[in-house]
Amino acid sequence: MDEEKTIANPVLEVSDLEVVYRTDEETVYAVNGLSLKVNAGETLGLVGETGAGKTTLALSIMKLLPERIGFIENGTIILDGINVTKASPEAMRDLRGEVVSMIFQDPMTSLNPVVTIGEQIAEILELHKTTLSKKEREERVDRMLEMIGISPERKGEYPHQFSGGMKQRIVIAMALACEPLLLLADEPTTALDVTIQAQVLNIMNSLKERFKTATIFITHDLGIVAQTCDKVAVMYSGEIVEYGDLRHIFSKDPFHHPYTVGLFNSIPNIKSDAPRLSPINGMMPDPTIRFKGCRFAERCAHCTERCENEKPPFVDRDGHQVRCFLFAEDGEASSKTEVQAQ
């Protein structure tokens, strides 16, 4: 844990990932050929509406897709040099908690109600830092609790004795106790009210910086993205449609995917006089159907015949990538799914 974390080496490299949920009735294509890179210490915001496959991506990285239903069909996930898709259950257990941690959406249900919070934080150390003595473990738990602003004296208490915000801070402390290389934060503040959100975000940011943990921050709140992320990936219907630095995504220039534009237009603006929000028309396509062309085509104002039949390529401008024909210089522009050469 004390070794220098090598900068600029990708902690996580996902390529051509395809994930499906298969039940007796139907097959849901949740993630469709997604590629992604996260460098050490970097925070990537993963935005997109509900059902875009954000959580599925995170669960695939943890290899915690629902048993007998969720399957990784194709592609590779390289986490700290290890191919997760081929890793044995034992190898995965070593990775989870130690190399990659996850924070779930609802702090109310993600802590075990009959185990004290101290024990729950200590458990992750017990599992991975086996060289620590019991005393050292306890000291470490105390330190973590102090960092999240909860008195270490309360470690003998049970989750129900804490408020929602405190619980989420405890979950964060637990996730970061082993100083993992990568943190997957799946909408960690969605279930909290706004005043508590800021507090939880602050604690998460400070701990992240302290431990130099790379983070994938899953959210649909663009405000939070602006506050916390270095890079942003916009996800739509199981694929990334736009990727770039924070400033790229939030820039005013017209080089954006129509879906990203739609997302920004859906944010309430106090300054504008518009009596209503302008949501994106239509709904996300049926995830049980596979598409030939652009998945956003049927909701897109700029849709052409080509969009419906051909998969648009990523157009790269200075590291800012948009997957749309609008910006393709010529029709033949690499329509391969090869992405994000950074």
Partner 1 sequence: MLKYILKRLLLLIPVIIGISFIIFSIMQLTPGDPAREILGDNAAQEAVDALREEMGLNDPFLVQYGRYMWRAARGNFGTSYQTGQSVMKQILERFPTTIYLAIGATLVAIIIGVPVGLISAVKQYSLMDDVSTIFSMVLTAIPNFWLGLVLMLALSLKLKWFPAYGATSLKHFVLPWITLSCMTLAVLIRMTRSSMLEVIRQDYIRTARAKGAKESRIVFRHALRNALLPVITVIGTQLSVQLGGAIIVETVFSIPGLGTMIISGIKTKDIPVVMGGVMFIALVGGLVNLLVDILYAYIDPRLKSRYVGTKRDRKRLNQAKKEVTGDA
**154 in contact with partner 1 (CB under 8 A):** yes
Q: Counting contacts by CB under 8 A, is residue 12 touching partner 1?
A: no
70 is a site residue for partner 1 (CB under 8 A): no
Q: How far apart are CA 297 and CA 278, in angstroms?
A: 18
Please report whether residue 203 would count as binding partner 1 according to CB under 8 A. no
Nearest Cα to Cα of residue 163 among 129, 123, 192: 192
How many whole angstroms separate alpha carbon 100 and alpha carbon 175? 9
Cα–Cα nearest to 216, from 175, 255, 256, 251 = 175
**Does residue 112 interact with partner 1 by CB under 8 A?**
yes
Q: Confirm or reject binding of residue 211 to partner 1 (CB under 8 A).
A: no
Least distance from C-beta 160 to partner 1, angstroms? 5
Per CB under 8 A, the segment of 15-23, 153-161, 233-241, 296-304 that binds partner 1 is: 153-161
Site for partner 1 contains 183 (CB under 8 A): no
Min dist. Cβ of residue 84 to partner 1 (A) = 13
Q: Kindly state the smallest distance separating residue 111's Cβ from partner 1, in Å.
A: 6
Interaction of residue 160 with partner 1, rule CB under 8 A: yes
CA distance readout (Å), 122 to 99, 118, 160, 255? 17, 6, 18, 48
Q: Are 179 and 101 in contact (CB under 8 A)?
A: no
Residue 123, interface with partner 1 (CB under 8 A)? yes
- Least Å distance, CB 98 to partner 1, is 6
By C-beta, is 175 or 249 nearer to partner 1?
175
Cβ of 234: how many Cβ atoms within 10 Å?
Answer: 25
Q: How far apart are CA 92 and CA 96, in angstroms?
A: 6
Q: What is the β-pairing status of strands 10-22 and 70-79?
A: antiparallel
Q: Token pair of 73, please?
A: 């069909």
Nearest CA to 62 among 41, 79, 47? 79
Least separation, in Å, of the C-beta of 269 and partner 1?
30
256 near partner 1, judged by CB under 8 A? no
| Residue with Cβ nearer partner 1 (160 or 302) | 160
Residue closer to partner 1 (CB basis): 156 or 279? 156
- Using an 8 Å Cβ cutoff, are 40 and 102 in contact? no
CA-CA distance, 160 to 133, in Å (whole number)?
29
Cα–chain-centroid distance for residue 106?
15
- Pick from 101, 168, 213, 219: which binds partner 1 (CB under 8 A)? 101
Give me the 17-56 binding string for partner 1, x by CB under 8 A, dash otherwise: ----------------------------------------
Binding of partner 1 at residue 98 (CB under 8 A)?
yes
From the list 153, 209, 286, 338, which residue makes contact with partner 1 (rule: CB under 8 A)?
A: 153
**How many whole angstroms separate alpha carbon 124 and alpha carbon 132?**
12
Q: Which of residues 133-152 bind partner 1 (CB under 8 A)?
A: 150-151
Q: What is the widest separation between alpha-carbon atoms in the chain?
A: 67
Q: Between residues 119 and 310, which has the closer beta carbon with respect to partner 1?
A: 119
Q: How many CB atoms lie within 10 A of CB 123?
A: 17
Residue 183: strand pairing partners:
101, 215
Residues binding partner 1: what is the number (CB under 8 A)? 38
Amino acid at 180: P
Q: Does position 64 bind partner 1 by CB under 8 A?
A: yes
Binding residues for partner 1, rule: CB under 8 A, are 62, 64, 92-98, 101-102, 104, 106, 109-115, 123-124, 127-128, 150-151, 153-154, 157-158, 160-161, 163, 165-166, 171, 174-175
